[in-house]
Amino acid sequence: MFELNKSEILRDKRDFNTVYSKGRSYANKNIVIHVLHDERYNGKVGFAAGKKLGGAVVRNRVKRLLRETYRLCKKNLRSDCALIIMGRKNLVDAKVDVAIKSFRDICKKAKLVAD
């Protein structure tokens, strides 16, 4: 079974800031992704949920939903870039299938789907 290794996850604040400032963002009504094509961050991913979504319980649920969505879709994605995946307000009450569809749509828009 597939799991995310600690080496695959962006954890450092400097790494997040680099992806935010130098990367490109793509959005739909449920998810925002920031993409940075850089060899130092190949295949790394970060997850974020802002305070506008609600309290800690809600934000943690959104991040768990995003992690599961990424886990299920990772095998189809290119591995030559760093991603930050952020949830939006519509994702708070959504189910996994809605999140997966939104994530796949936005990955096609960002040309992250591997050939």
Instruction: Retrieve residue 13's tokens.
Output: 């604040």
- Per cent of the chain over pLDDT 70 is 97
Record the pTM: 0.92
Per-residue pLDDT band at 88 (split at 50, 70, 90): very high
Q: CA nearest 88: which of 109, 55, 63, 113?
A: 63
Q: Give me the residue spans of the domains in the chain.
A: 11-109
Question: Is the per-residue pLDDT at 13 higher than 60?
Answer: yes
Length of the chain: 115
Instruction: Give the per-residue pLDDT at 1.
Output: 45
CATH topology of domain 11-109: Ribosomal Protein S5; domain 2 (3.30.230)
The confidence score (pLDDT) of residue 25 equals 96
**Residue carrying structure tokens 């935010």:** 20
